[in-house]
A = this chain, B = another copy of it.
Amino acid sequence: MTSPSDGAPTLRVPQPHVPLRVTVWNENRHEQEEPGIAARYPAGIHGAVKEGIEENLGAAVAVRTATLDEPEHGLTEEVLAATDVLTWWGHKAHGEVSDAVVDRVQRHVLAGMGLVVLHSGHWSKVFQRLMGTSCTLRWRSEHDRELVWTVDPTHPIADGVPQPIEIPEQEMYGEFFDIPAPDELVFVSSFSGGEVFRSGCTFRRGHGRVFFFSPGDQDYPVYHHRDVRRVIANGVRWAASVRPERAEPVLLRYDTGEFTEGVDYRTATGRA
């Protein structure tokens, strides 16, 4: 749960860090189990995403990776405390992600860590937890062409990308996409079969920023696409917090006329 009642220490991490510390998380199962996918992504999907971020942001970022099969999925308290923005890719093993890690990621996002959720990460526990919805959609993997249209040209996440981005072959994701109405709708995609999808969406959760971007798949070389990489890098930069310190929102009591020195009364209710 996101309640501060779970005994975890209150998060207090200075930010932002320069260079921006990015952790690219990947399920990394397709790459181990399917030679075609391993050939498409020799360094793993995480390797391709990492490369795309570095290619665009250079010395402004320090990128590491983490994968499902590492202890605690590579997302220990220490790793998250040292991560300004986390990117998330998963597909066939969402159910294997431990609830404890999901809790931890949620706490860090609410405290200010940025999160970029990619493609099939739409059905991850982490994204479902932060959205409060099922995050289901319609789909088909039949080599559709995807066109990614910018509908908010003032948004920094759309900086430097063509109108539209053309992706020659891609899995189709279509509406209805069961997410809350996004705070900002940046991209809408069409597929050659006729479907549409809200493919670039931002959300604020607590002190953190979340960006969802749907292009990208294990069966198509989408993470090698120049413009897709640019969007992911823009998303990483956008999701980084402007706040000086990572800290969860907490329930505090304030005396009349006293606005800054709240007292923690969390134990007064059933959530403590």
> Which residue numbers of A lie inside 8 Å of B, CB to CB?
1-5, 90-96, 106, 110, 112, 120, 123, 125, 128-134, 136-140, 142, 144-145, 147, 149-156, 159-160, 162-164, 166, 172, 174-178, 180-181, 183-185, 188-196, 198, 203-209, 241-244, 248-257, 259-260, 262, 265, 269-272
Contacts and interface: CB of A to CB of B under 8 A. Distances in A.
Given A133-B2, A183-B184, A270-B93, A154 B257 contact: no
B181 A134 contact: no
Contacts of A131: 132
B175 A151 contact: yes
A264 to B, nearest CB: 11
Contact of A181 (B91, B174, B185, B254): B185
A259 B4 contact: no
Contact of A204 (B128, B152, B177, B248): B152
Contact of A163 (B162, B193, B259, B265): B259
Contacts of A139: 251-254, 265
Contacts of A256: 140, 142, 144, 193
A156 B207 CA distance: 12
B198 A269 contact: no
Contacts of A253: 138-140
A140 B254 contact: yes
A73 to B, nearest CB: 13
A175 B185 CA distance: 13
Given A138-B252, A252-B138, A147 B194 contact: yes
Contacts of A106: 132
The 8 closest A-B pairs by CB, nearest first: A178-B249, A95-B270, A136-B251, A130-B132, A94-B270, A93-B270, A190-B190, A193-B256
B178 A181 contact: no
A133 B150 contact: no
Contacts of A155: 242
Contacts of A159: 242-243
A151 B92 contact: no
A133 B206 contact: yes
A151 B133 contact: no
Nearest to A27: B270
A176 B205 contact: no
A149 to B, nearest CB: 5
